[in-house]
Amino acid sequence: MTKDALLEIGSEELPASFIAPAMRQLKSLAEESLKASGLTYSALESYGTPRRLAVLIHGLVDRSPDQTRTVTGPPAHVAKDAQGQWTPAASGFARKQGLKPSDLTIVNDRVSAVLHIKGVPTRQLLADLYPQWISKLEFPKEMVWEPSHFRYPRPIRWVAALYGSDLVSFSIAGIRSVRYTFGLGPWAPKKIPIAQSGKYAHLLKDQCVLVDPAARQEAIRRFAEQAVKRIHGKVHMSPALLEQVANLVEHPVAILGNFDPAYLDLPKEVLVTCLEHHQKYFPVEEASGGKLIPHFVGIRNGMSVHQDIVREGYERVLAARLADARFFYSQDRRTPLASKVEALKGVMFQEKLGNLFDKKERVKKLLDAFASMTGGFPDLEKAKRIAELCKADLVTDMVREFPELQGIVARLYARADGEEAGVAQALEEHYWPITLTGALPSSDLAAMVALADKLDTLSGDFAVGLIPSGSADPYGLRRAAVGVLRILESQKWVLPLEPLVEKAIDAQPNHVKADSQQTRSKLNVFMQQRFAGLLVERGFKADEIEAVLVAGIGVVPVAIAKLQALHNIRQLPEFEALASSFKRAANIVRQASEKKIEVNGGEPQLDLLKEECEKELWNSFLSVQSRLKDNLGYEDILKNMVPLREPLARFFDGVMVMAEDHSLRMNRLKLLSQITKLFQHVADFSKLQNA
């Protein structure tokens, strides 16, 4: 027999950004613990609104299954005495398991007890599981409000917990679980009985609460489109804002508002920022063309009453914000962007690293260094012009008031000043990628300045000890590191990362470079960790990544090409045996080195290749090596190495590498050394598991 089960955590209003992650956590916790308890179900859904988080489990069985579990106890010689009688240690072990000593057996020289565990009614299990799920939820910020010091982002006001129509009874945070819920905020203070768990979402929908965020988003879309029909407009609806607004309300209602058309002379980006970022309104565009019109759609939470009063409030707040934006824009445009650069001397970047003026000078210095590494950068002067202006917008009134416009204001003002379009665009894009997966700079110019800026930030912060620890990363260094790696990959620049890091550290102020070697080491390890994490997310295996990155990242696009080749070639049936043979060869060479047996460079002596298998392996090696002189991709290189598998196997079967004869031993070590170097051109196969 199966029933539906429900857990709802009702609280004061949660921050919008907390809801989606908490829903994912709650669903994951429920799935994992139900599986561990042996409870099967047909489907599981999580819900979330500002006032509630919930999980609904469909078709949950009414009892956990009977289980048989084997528990291992003390060693046999401890459990039985010389006469073969059970010792007190064995009796204590049996008692702990609820058994008699006669129930124990000896398996593999240890005492073993077989436990037959009866299943437990699901409602009884849920009484333990529900409070565990609530307690294990993690949030960016939490508070304490009651005597037990339970932590949650906002005070919990009720907890509904049911299995079918039956109450699942427990207490948490001073609250007893109940069989009812509440409707839409202050408009619905009465208790709403929950007769059946499976009807939860429909029950609250009838009370004007949409518990599913996807349903709220769809409602917002539909209501907003209806609101702009009479003005023949189109709602500009960014996915990020739609998700945020949907998590600010339980029952969305769209209100069409207006603003003074005179504000349309402000740049579109400024208007959109005022509407979206500050007021959480959706801009309205012409039905065709994308030009903004003097209207917006605001979303309120609650019933469709007093719409005129709400609209008037929305318009009044927006008018003040737009007036501020116009004032700041006009003040900024009194002087060109370039004239603001000097003011960067008054803005601290970091106490030990100087001001923003110093930072942009370091970025220019790095551009010179990068150009010398590449043999000359054709647009170096343009790149340095971008670096000169790239932080100037941070001292504008507009960015001080609207930080979201950082970079965008630089582009707008630079174009208005007559700067080249490519230079102006790069001023915005040198901050990219803004998020771990965000858009990358679209031009070489922007990418080069972005690379220099991010490497300067990373090397400077590491030099003064501002290194991320645990989950804390207040300076966004993980994001900067991933940005560097993604830019190098997308641009396909043949620039080894380690020398770039070294140049960035050398450009730092002298007083923070006392321990530059340690800074370099820590930063290179950090970059390799970020690179490995990025590659794991793309589906590469950890041992493949280690095999390619064992000697460092090197050139990012080359490392990725090697990794992709290794990942693909690993699917071949011959690969496992080849990798195993290489691993054996590499281990022999390494162990010889550890024994102070130095294998000098050079080829083995042909007259010392005594056995037929030695000659065969050397000839196969030469054949493979000759083919690799062609301009092959890394996957083709690895495929061409596959024919070495059988000669290597016969070599290991036919000779003793560490022969007593010194000349033979050294000659065979040279042969294996040549082969391992050939493979290590792509990856260190000895790092691969099951090889």
**In the prediction, which pLDDT does 586 show?**
83
Domain end residue (candidates: 97, 117, 137): 117
The amino acid at 410: A
Mean pLDDT within 222-240: 94
Instruction: Answer yes or no: do 289 and 418 share one domain.
Output: no
d(CA 315, CA 313): 5
Residue 333 has pLDDT above 90, yes or no: yes
Range from 26-30, 446-450, 541-545 carrying the lowest mean pLDDT: 541-545
Residue 373 has pLDDT above 70, yes or no: yes
**Percentage of the chain surpassing pLDDT 90?**
65
**In the prediction, which pLDDT does 473 show?**
84
Instruction: Answer yes or no: do 171 and 278 share one domain.
Output: no
Can you list the alpha helix ranges (DSSP code H) found in 80-121? Answer: 88-96
644 and 590 Cβ atoms separated by less than 8 Å:
no
- Within-domain flag for 458: yes
Helices (H) and strands (E) in the chain, counts: 25, 20
Domain range for residue 302?
A: 213-332
d(CA 363, CA 389): 11
Domain end residue (candidates: 96, 117, 138): 117
**Percentage of the chain surpassing pLDDT 70?**
98
Residue 691 has pLDDT above 60, yes or no: no
Mean pLDDT within 64-81: 83
Give the position of tokens 């000779």: 655
- Within-domain flag for 379: yes
**In the prediction, which pLDDT does 187 show?**
65
Instruction: Answer yes or no: do 531 and 664 share one domain.
Output: no
Q: Which residue has the higher pLDDT, 4 or 187?
A: 4
Q: Which residue has the higher pLDDT, 672 or 181?
A: 181
Instruction: Answer yes or no: do 575 and 474 share one domain.
Output: no
d(CA 591, CA 470): 37
Domain of residue 41, CATH code: 3.30.70
Q: Confidence band (pLDDT; 50, 70, 90) for 24?
A: very high
Instruction: Answer yes or no: do 509 and 604 share one domain.
Output: no
Instruction: Answer yes or no: do 416 and 431 share one domain.
Output: yes
Spatial neighbors of 39 by CB under 8 A, at least 6 apart, are 60, 61, 64, 122, 125
- Within-domain flag for 487: yes
- Within-domain flag for 558: no
Spatial neighbors of 51 by CB under 8 A, at least 6 apart, are 10, 11, 12, 13, 14, 182, 185, 250
**In the prediction, which pLDDT does 430 show?**
97
Residues in a beta bridge with 20: none
Q: How many residues does the chain have?
A: 691
- Within-domain flag for 555: no
Instruction: Answer yes or no: do 77 and 60 share one domain.
Output: no
**Domain count of the chain?**
5
Burial category of 90 from C-beta neighbours within 10 Å (exposed 0-12, middle 13-18, buried 19 and up): buried
**In the prediction, which pLDDT does 116 show?**
76
Please, what is the average pLDDT of the chain? 91
d(CA 202, CA 120): 31
520 and 505 Cβ atoms separated by less than 8 Å:
yes
- Within-domain flag for 338: no
Closest CA to 410 of 315, 306, 336, 343: 336
414 and 423 Cβ atoms separated by less than 8 Å:
yes
491-540 pLDDT, tens digit per residue, is 999 899 999 999 999 999 999 887 888 999 999 999 999 999 999 999 99
d(CA 600, CA 232): 81
User: Coil, strand, or helix at residue 110?
Assistant: strand
- Within-domain flag for 408: yes
d(CA 544, CA 535): 10
Instruction: Answer yes or no: do 137 and 92 share one domain.
Output: no
Can you list the alpha helix ranges (DSSP code H) found in 97-175? Answer: 122-136
Q: Confidence band (pLDDT; 50, 70, 90) for 577?
A: confident
Instruction: Answer yes or no: do 58 and 77 share one domain.
Output: no
302 and 250 Cβ atoms separated by less than 8 Å:
no
Phi, psi angles (nearest 5°) of residue 463: -65, -30
667 and 608 Cβ atoms separated by less than 8 Å:
yes
User: Coil, strand, or helix at residue 304?
Assistant: coil
Residue 420 has pLDDT above 70, yes or no: yes
- Within-domain flag for 553: no
DSSP category for residue 14: P
Instruction: Answer yes or no: do 53 and 87 share one domain.
Output: no
Kindly list the distances between the CA atom of residue 317 and the CA atoms of 158, 320, 323, 496, in Å, as whole numbers in the listed order: 35, 5, 10, 52
Question: Helices 380-389 and 444-463, interaxial angle, to 10°?
Answer: 60
DSSP category for residue 157: E
Instruction: Answer yes or no: do 462 and 587 share one domain.
Output: no
Mean pLDDT within 463-483: 89
Instruction: Answer yes or no: do 152 and 11 share one domain.
Output: yes
Sheet strand arrangement including 43-49: 43-49, 52-61, 2-11, 156-163, 166-167
173-225 pLDDT, tens digit per residue, is 999 999 999 998 776 678 999 999 999 999 999 999 999 999 999 999 999 99
**In the prediction, which pLDDT does 557 show?**
93
33 and 52 Cβ atoms separated by less than 8 Å:
no
Can you list the alpha helix ranges (DSSP code H) found in 333-407? Answer: 356-373, 380-389, 397-401
d(CA 442, CA 86): 77
80-94 pLDDT, tens digit per residue, is 888 888 898 888 888
Domain of residue 655, CATH code: 1.10.730.10
DSSP letters of 285-299? EETTT--EEEEEEEE
591-650 pLDDT, tens digit per residue, is 888 887 777 667 888 888 888 998 998 898 888 888 776 667 888 888 888 888 888 889
Domain end residue (candidates: 153, 181, 206): 206
DSSP letters of 30-87? HHHHHHHTT---SEEEEEEETTEEEEEEEEEESBPPPEEEEEEEEEHHHHB-TTSPBP
**In the prediction, which pLDDT does 177 show?**
97
Element (H, E) at 109: none
Residue 493 token pair: 């620049």
d(CA 553, CA 485): 10
Closest CA to 337 of 399, 413, 406: 413
